[in-house]
Amino acid sequence: MSCAEDERAEALARLQTRLGYRFRSPELLERALTQRSAAHESGAPASAANEALEFLGDAVVSLALAEHLVRAWPGRTEGEYSELRARVVSQEALAGVASQLDLGDLLRLGRGEEASGGRRRESLLADALEALFGAALLDGGPSAVESLFRALLAAPIRTLATGAADERRDPKSRLQELLQLGGNPPPEYEVVTAEGPDHEPRFRVVVRHGGRVLGEGSGPSRRVAERIAARTALARLAGGTSF
């Protein structure tokens, strides 16, 4: 085994320790970390890339998260569950978890993706994290998914769900109150895209004020997407952004 292979094997071992799960099939772990561009350049079949695992992982995470929310907080409304789920599985949130795991350093990328900064791209990081969940299901079944869920998502969910009361207030109301201080007009919301089948729609919304985009959000309904967009704007304002 070459020095580079030794280093990768050690890095993958550290990753599995942080995941709280050790893969029985190392090939599945490698596949979860292989982007389509790398498989294409190496002449490998499409099945060697992580797209199918990402598709599976998306469903796995959604189901595991829904079950966790209902069991842990049985008194929430459907809207609150939907908002929490949308926030936890947003591309930004998943990419943040992936970054904490240093997944970017372990991705197998094609030369073009490598050169264009693919190791830090949110979409690729989020895809890889979902692919890990899909690989875990195939490798070890539901118990493996549960291990990953506890290690990676339980804490962020707890933070979101048990935050201060003000944080749980309707973010649209909070944003409007903040922006209308001094007689300013209220924010405006616009649906940018509405995609997906009727039984599983996906809305992307932006919130504007004075012609400027303050934030955006996506979710399974316009209402949820607007709330996430408002929350994004509030976070930016809290970070010192002036509108």
Where exactly are the structural domains of the chain?
Answer: 3-162, 166-238
What average pLDDT does range 150-168 have in this prediction? Answer: 69
SS3 156: helix
The model's pLDDT over 114-130, given as tens digits with 9 standing for 90+, comes to: 999 989 999 999 999 99
| Contact present, 123 and 36 (Cβ < 8 Å) | no
Residue 240 pLDDT exceeds 60: no
Q: Residue 160: what pLDDT?
A: 67
Q: Residue 169: what pLDDT?
A: 64
Q: Residue 235: what pLDDT?
A: 83
Residue 153 pLDDT exceeds 80: yes
| Contact present, 129 and 103 (Cβ < 8 Å) | yes
Distance CA 119, CA 135 (A): 20
- What is the average pLDDT value for the chain, to the nearest integer? 88
Amino acid occupying residue 117 = G
Distance CA 178, CA 180 (A): 6
Q: Residue 107: what pLDDT?
A: 95
Q: Which two tokens stand for residue 94?
A: 């998943």
Residue with structure tokens 């949820």? 224
Q: Residue 76: what pLDDT?
A: 81
Distance CA 38, CA 20 (A): 27
Distance CA 224, CA 217 (A): 8
What average pLDDT does range 79-103 have in this prediction? Answer: 85
Q: Residue 42: what pLDDT?
A: 87
Q: To which H or E segment does residue 68 belong?
A: helix 51-72
Instruction: Compute the radius of gyration of the chain from its Cα atoms.
Output: 20
The CATH code of the domain at 166-238 is: 3.30.160.20
Q: Residue 124: what pLDDT?
A: 94
Question: Would you tell me how many other CB atoms lie within 10 Å of the CB of residue 1?
Answer: 8
Residue 86 pLDDT exceeds 60: yes
**% of residues, the chain, pLDDT over 90:** 55
What average pLDDT does range 137-148 have in this prediction? Answer: 96
Q: Which two tokens stand for residue 187?
A: 């924010």
pTM exceeds 0.75, yes or no: no
Catalytic residue IDs:
58, 130
The CATH code of the domain at 3-162 is: 1.10.1520.10
| Contact present, 29 and 159 (Cβ < 8 Å) | no
The model's pLDDT over 34-61, given as tens digits with 9 standing for 90+, comes to: 999 998 898 988 889 999 999 999 999 9
Q: Which residues pair with 194 in a beta bridge?
A: 203
Among the residue ranges 10-24, 157-171, 208-222, the one predicted with the least confidence is 157-171
Distance CA 90, CA 125 (A): 12
Residue 165 pLDDT exceeds 50: no
